[in-house]
Each structure stands twice: as structure tokens, then as C-alpha cells.
Amino acid sequence: MPALWISDAIAGYSRGGCNELDWTCNVDRLSEQLSHAPASPGAGAQPLTCFRGINQTPLHPQFSKVMPLQLHYLLRSTAKRPAIITKNYARLSIRMVSSHQAPKLKDQSLFKQQGLINGQWADAQSGETFTVTDPVNNAEIGTCPEMTRKEVAEAIDAARKAFADFRNTTPRERSTILKKWHQLCMENADDLAKILTWENGKPLAEAQGEVKYGSAFFEWFAEEAVRLYGDVIPSSTKGNRIITLKQPVGVVGIITPWNFPIAMITRKVGAAIAAGCTVVCKPGAETPYSALALAELGIRAGLPAGVFNIVTGEKNTKDIGLELTTNPSVRKISFTGSTAVGKILMQQSASTMKKCSFELGGNAPFIVFDDADIDLAVAGAIACKFRASGQTCVCANRIYVQKGIYDKFAKAFVEKVNGFKLGSGFDPDTTHGPLIHDRAVAKVKELVDDATSKGAKVLTGGEKSELGKNFWPPTVLGGMTNDMRIAKDEIFGAVAPLFEFESEDDVIALANDTDVGLAGYFYSNNVNRIWRVAEALEVGMVGVNCAIISDAVSPFGGVKESGFGREGSKYGLDEYTVIKSVTFGNTGAK
């Protein structure tokens, strides 16, 4: 069955009055049949039915004679593939592995495609938009406004005006709003998780976990809002009395990434609102819809207009950041992202001496000593390395295993990884979804190629997946050395490099041999060693016999070039306040 025959069939289909939108519709239906087709052409294969487009125009009759897997194999030959098929082929192919389609929301009004300025859903004044795509198949999800510095300035001005009243609300009033916001997130958790999986690609179970974790920051800071205590300080001067007040810093500019599109916002916004600040938020261009859904729920929770604003943009991201960092009405910047971008934002913020908190890149060591529980360590390494397909700043980036147990650990670890299933996040059997885009895949491949060229061995994975250009199979590398790029660069992908070490002193030196210091992990049953290593690691957070350390009640942040400031916990609230001292003179006199 030559490719030309398929071309003629599609051409006939088009001549029959069916447009590209109809073809896209039929790709979805055709793919559904293909996903149930036999593993090979021949025995058991059934002819496809004759599909109709959304305008009920019949598909070319010859299409009904095509066998499912024959069509699949044929379309994989790109030499003579019609352009209309090429455009949709990635969508067609992924269905061969797992069912994938746009989620149905219980509350469709949570899906917003506009920014939020002063309580109103807003487009860019230019009318320009950018496209948001599904990382599974690169299909368009929708669009969002390509806002400019002008819209950002308007949002900042709205936040400035709203701050005048919001700063004077009582802590109890702000607590009530945050509690309601948390409640609404829980009531709409399924929809929030579906939106998150759709635009981010992570498995639905992980997305549901993020919704629960992210919403917990609203609950936590609702309680912390009423604990903004000051101090009474004994004065050195007779008759004087000194007190301190914690007051909101003002308008806050928040810039968040795509890897945790709900939690990265809630742990910043929850603290800001609790303190009495107003916010202008720029979410990652890859995942704006989770942020916009949160904003809709915030409105329902009772946030006054102008208190929480969202500006969106892709190609104008740098300009949006420049306006946030240089506008004098913004008094604080909170950013989560790369160290390189953090340095730029810090330089820009210096022009107006803004308060800053930055959670930047990581290169987390994960150390397994020979006195550790190996099964516990393997399970911890799996969770720490591969959640979100390795796309977290606190993922295990370098796994150090002591020489005496290296082989045993590596074997058990690889066996676990070989049990993973790559695919659509909406498939309940999927353990890992795609990376966010093909640029992320290219970076991971570069790091793997560099390691193997210098002697590393691929223990599993290591090659691009056939599921689509954004997929990378979970990979384990052995025989790693410190001259490989992975030892220095943040991977941000599903690659686990295993390093062998001799002694405690050696591994501490290796673990600290990096410019960043966000998180570190180690497994040991030696109490004395536990204290020594926990104190010696140059990181902001340590997991001891524990691989998941993120918690709303615990301070999150790093040292060195991983940034400064803390999020979550009681310390996270202080990032959004300023301390004012008030001295009363000549008091207490008779």
C-alpha cells in the first residue's frame, strides 16, 4: 500500500469538503481505534470505520479499507507523508501508547485564557497572544495574552491602590480569605489537577498531590497571619518604652516557573496575602492556566480587586520582569527559577533597593553510606530523583553510593526504574510523563552524551523515546566521574547518575564541590555520622533517611548561588514584612 495512495485518500477527503479542523477531529477518533489495534498487522486486524468530520462531511471512502497498524506504519514513513498528516502525526502516534485527550472539567469556568488586572479578566491591549501547548503531543491547548510593560504597569498601579486599604485589614480578615481559598482549592482539586497535567504533562496522581501540597500553604499562612507578633524591648534610656511592629512590605512582584505551577505560586502568594501585601504575579509561559484557575478561586474566596493580579507573556517575559524589578511601586521581588536569571533580576532590583527572595538552581547530592538500609535508600532515591520526571530543583542530581554497597544498590535501583511506564499523564498506568518541551530533552541528551563520551555506562534508558519529541525515558548512568558535566550542571530531567565513593570525608568534599546549595540527602544508621554530615553539607535543606522534604510548615530555601530567603514555615511570612521600631519617650513618669 504505497504512501501515494494515502496521499490520494487525504486529497480526496479534502476535496470532499472537509477542512483541517475536521481532519484534526478525525485524528482523535482514528487514534482511539489505533490504540485498540492488534500489536502487528495481520491476524485480528479490522478495517477502520468511515469517520465523519465535525461538519459531518464523510471521510474519503477508501479510508475505510485501511488497516489500523498498516496506517500507523505507513505514516511513520515521512518521505511522502502529506503535510496535513505530518502536522498531526505526533498526536496520532501517542495514542498508540496510551489514551490521551483534553480533560473534561466539572467547572469549565476555571479555564481562563486572559490575565487578571484589578479584578477584571484582561487581554493584551495589542490583541497579541501566545500559544500554550500540551507537552505530550504539542497540540494547542489555548492562548493567553502577550502582555507588555504597559499592562504590567497597570497591574502594579492596581496593586498599589489596593494596598492602601488591604494593608489595614485585620489579620483575622486575611486569614478568613485564605481559609476560604484553601477550601475552594480542595473542592475543585480534580479540575485543578487536570489543568495542571494538561499543560505540564506530569501524571495526574502527581498533579493531585501538588494541588493538595500547594493548597496547604493557604491553610498554613491563614493561621500564621494572626501570629504577626512584635516585641517589647527594654530601653537603655530611663522613661522610654520600645516596641516593634511587623508591617506588610507593600506591592510584591512574583515570578514563578512551570514545574510546579500551583505550589510555586501558593507558597509565595499565601505568605504575601497573610502579611497584608498585594501581588502582581507572572507565571511560567508554559503553564499559565493553573495560575489563572487559582486566581478565579481567589476571587470567589473574597480577594478584593487589585490584591492579586496576573500578567501573562512569552516573548515579552524579559520586559515583564524588567517592569516588575524597576517599577518603584514594587517593594519586593520573589522569584523561583534559574540562578542565571536570578542574578539578572537581582541586578535590576538593585536600582530601587527592593527586598528580594530567590529560590534558584540546585545540584542536590544524594549520599548512601554502607551502614544505610539499602531498600529504604533505593526507594528514597527513586522518589527523590524521578518525581516530576526529574524536573524539580531539589531532585537528586548526583547519587553517591559507598563502594561496599555500590553494586547491590545499582542493581536494585535499575530494577525499580525498569518498572516505570512512560506516557500520557491521563493514563492511570503512566508513572512518568514527558519533559516540558524538546529543549529540555535536548539538554538531557547533551548531558548523557557528555557522560558516556567520558566513560559512563548506560545501565538503562539513555535513548530518545519514540513516544514524541518531548519524551525522555528514565535513565540510569553508572561509572560517573567528577569531570563529567552532570557533576556540575543541574540535570532537570529523568537521568540518575551513580557515583562511587570511598569515605565520608571524600563524599562531603564532592557533595560541596558546587556553586549552589539548595538541598542534600543522605542515608545512614550511624547517629554520630548523621549529625556530622547534616551539619557539614553546604545546603539550605537536608533530608536524613528521608527523600521528600517539602512541607508547608518547613522553611524552604538555599545557600550560595541557590539564593536566599525562605518560603513556607513561620519564617516565610517574615519575607513579606518589614520591622518598624516605635520608641515612646517620657513614659511611666509620676
Quote the CA–CA distance of 494 and 516 in Å, as a whole number. 20
CB-based contacts of 336, cutoff 8 Å, min separation 6: 255, 256, 257, 264, 268, 358, 359, 360, 393
Quote the CA–CA distance of 468 and 474 in Å, as a whole number. 15
Q: Look at residue 129 and give its three-state secondary structure.
A: strand
Quote the CA–CA distance of 488 and 480 in Å, as a whole number. 12
CB-based contacts of 242, cutoff 8 Å, min separation 6: 232, 233, 234, 235, 581, 582, 583, 584
- Output the nine-digit C-alpha cell for 61: 471512502
Query: What SS3 string covers 35-96?
Result: HCCCCCCCCCCCCCCCCECCCCCECCHHHHHCCHHHHHHHHCCHHHCCHHHHHHHHHHHHCC
Quote the CA–CA distance of 282 and 274 in Å, as a whole number. 20
Q: Of the candidates 442, 438, 463, which has an alpha carbon nearest to the alpha carbon of residue 452?
A: 463
Quote the CA–CA distance of 508 and 498 in Å, as a whole number. 16
C-alpha pair distances (Å), 546 with each of 259, 376, 396: 22, 9, 12
Q: For the CA atoms of the chain, what is the radius of gyration?
A: 27
Catalytic residue among 146, 210, 219, 359: 359
- Output the nine-digit C-alpha cell for 189: 482539586
C-alpha pair distances (Å), 415 with each of 410, 420, 499: 9, 9, 18
- CA angle, 506 then 495 then 461, to 5°: 125
Cβ-contact 140, 131 below 8 angstroms: yes
The DSSP call for residue 101 is: -
Q: Mark whether 500 is an active-site residue.
A: no
Active-site amino acid positions: 359
